[in-house]
Structure 1
């Protein structure tokens, strides 16, 4: 393994958010953790925010409150000061759009709000916090790298019918270009600007915030890809009390789709190629890596033979995605890395330990780890790469 990405939890490290006071036990825990990774000569990438805004901040408006931007910046500065010498690279946020979707669009995560306008405000504020953090970081570590981890589910239309094409274009405008344009170009698309104005969705902003966004230059972008979105034109047009993204398209099941039966997600490795070409053609072939790609499986212990889980389905998944990624790289895509989600079975915000993603099994009952067949496969793949 060449790189390992982990996150710091804001509310564990800091206990007074205005003063940014440090919890000594948490500091020592993270420092020792980082040292163990560095002992193994693995590049350490530390992410500052993985969905976990402190509850005390939520009580004061969370990311709808502009003050949260400043609190986050204080926290980021504190982390850089505490761990800057040992951390190789930093990330500001993990999947900010997924964070917003789960918290402010679909009500999956606390505070379980379903409001399109509030979600736009929250996302914009997250981007301001990201940009201010990047700009500060570059003043103190001009030779170190910083990124942001973005989840992308490209939308594909049901047909080439105009209405279906418009449905896919709309979803990509909201969930793909909104993210990539702000992060990589520092602007919104004209199409998105017009849409926000038309439906009174423009967030509260200050001109200097857009200046921060334009100035923020990350070193590469980290992309998470799991599955595509399949969309079609709305089947029924009805007057709704409030506008939501699904006011403009419906999902549909592609007849040729392949499904991970253990998780319910579509397996579409070509989406990784299409994503690579999008970055190449629309964003000046910006440097990027796959920071997450993987396969969750429920009740995976049923595939265990003796002490090893025979997860051939995961090996096939990895191979297919790497094949499409190699085609993209051969065609000039500026992709320099691939990280699987995840090294070891991990905990999920919504599903606890139900779905297992690791190439290393974590036995909850005995607190032991066992390499899976996919882990052996990855090990052999790394050996081939190093030859």
Structure 2
């Protein structure tokens, strides 16, 4: 057995979001998820929408005690734009929301848990989507900045780790390319415009944070998915290069290096996809330096050179490659047979170290999915046995430790998620939590993995073969 010890002060905890945990009680505005579920419940697993969650709004004190129970010293969640802001045009806050978030964050801090707060987790206020097109609109960039300023002003005395966007590429992919998020459009040019506008909104929120002389640090969270090839043939390597450029570097480079890759711009020009860009927007992107990066990782991307003719009527990144299933890979039988590749963590760390200035970063999400049936019922001691999750987490943490030993500037790990939470159109199809949520009673049922995690967090180390 080998003992793996992490740097002093390492952050251990979980990640969640406001919309997936808080519930809709006393919320001022609907989000796009509220209205989409209301209009098209059949798009959601078992027709369960965001009103059926773990009710953090009412149970945050109880839940903070559960965080302590599994050893958290930190926790990432998000503020809901549709909850905090009363007047979406002026940024005037709702006082009930200010009181709730203040109490929630203070409760964490009083119990030794550092809150890390994200401003946007896919939850556009519905009226802004319907009236302006959400981030299709330049006007909504300004409204987002007003929202960010209100959040900084309201909670800056409590929050020292701010995040602008969680996985900003997902609303682009889901809402404008692949039809798994609202507004369910398929339009490559509009997708590029939305992606650019989100990057501008991020940059201007970072600059507002600086101009307000806020204490603490600000960054972003990106889902970085390394692209691996079928084999060593050159055309496959080129396919992986395009996949990385379009899926990873399209946000990583402008948000961390403060410029867009020239090759990406040439691709967009070639396909007539260039967004509307103002000089002051580019100036904002070029000057908005982040303090840290969050990285979400679940599965690798496997690609090969395109062999079949591209047959979509609009542009997607797959114009330049085909996805590929590794015939010799390991797969999670509990999550749609997604590939398990712990060494990808090491590759991500090396990329940040070698190509992005070894910026301070943390593993902002890593999740091991199981469905409720595979986790089984609670055992005699009242705890659910999810040891499959623990064994896989160890493998990933071994690779992270190896990366840190080789100079990676990683400062923490947050697992997705704390309590099994509602997850977009999948609702509760997949379970990730340290605690199971009983959908009928709201009971939080502990899992064996949480007991192991407590030992990990308290000792800052673990042992593995």
TM range (shorter): over 0.9
Q: Structure 1 pair 16/109, CA: closer, same or farther in 2 (3 Å)?
A: same
Query: Do structure 1's residue 348 and structure 2's residue 420 form an aligned pair?
Result: no
Offset from partner CA, 1:130-158 (integer Å, 9 cap, x none):
00110110122354111111111111111
2:125 to 51, 54, 58: 54
Query: Do structure 1's residue 274 and structure 2's residue 338 form an aligned pair?
Result: no
Structure with more contact order per residue of length (Cα contacts < 8 Å, sep ≥ 6): 2
Q: Secondary structure at the match of 2:99?
A: helix
In structure 2, distance between residues paired with 1:296 and 1:240: 31
TM-score normalised over the length of structure 2? 0.81
**By how many angstroms is 1:251 displaced?**
1.0
Task: Name the residue aligned to 1:205.
Answer: 277
- Does structure 2 conserve the Cα–Cα contact (< 8 Å) formed by 1:95 and 1:150? yes
1:133 to 205, 218, 224: 205
Task: Name the residue aligned to 2:376.
Answer: 302
Query: Do structure 1's residue 221 and structure 2's residue 296 form an aligned pair?
Result: no
In structure 2, distance between residues paired with 1:239 and 1:110: 24
In structure 2, distance between residues paired with 1:85 and 1:122: 32
Offset from partner CA, 1:1-22 (integer Å, 9 cap, x none):
2211111111122232112232
Task: Name the residue aligned to 1:367.
Answer: 442
1:311-330 map, 5 Å? 311-330=386-405
Query: Do structure 1's residue 336 and structure 2's residue 411 form an aligned pair?
Result: yes
- Does structure 2 conserve the Cα–Cα contact (< 8 Å) formed by 1:361 and 1:372? yes
Residue ranges of structure 2 left out of the alignment (5+ in a row): 1-71
1:35 to 106, 117, 130: 106
Query: Do structure 1's residue 358 and structure 2's residue 433 form an aligned pair?
Result: yes
Task: Name the residue aligned to 2:330.
Answer: 258
- Does structure 1 conserve the Cα–Cα contact (< 8 Å) formed by 2:175 and 2:185? yes
Residue ranges of structure 1 left out of the alignment (5+ in a row): none
Offset from partner CA, 1:258-277 (integer Å, 9 cap, x none):
11111122111011000000
Task: Name the residue aligned to 1:13.
Answer: 84
- RMSD between aligned residues: 1.5
Query: Do structure 1's residue 73 and structure 2's residue 145 form an aligned pair?
Result: yes
TM-score normalised over the length of structure 1? 0.96
In structure 2, distance between residues paired with 1:339 and 1:332: 20
In structure 2, distance between residues paired with 1:386 and 1:170: 38
**By how many angstroms is 1:33 displaced?**
1.4
Query: Do structure 1's residue 154 and structure 2's residue 226 form an aligned pair?
Result: yes
Query: Do structure 1's residue 45 and structure 2's residue 116 form an aligned pair?
Result: yes
1:166 to 194, 218, 238: 238
**By how many angstroms is 1:303 displaced?**
5.1
Moved over 4 A (4+): none
In structure 1, distance between residues paired with 2:311 and 2:216: 51
1:190 to 249, 252, 262: 262
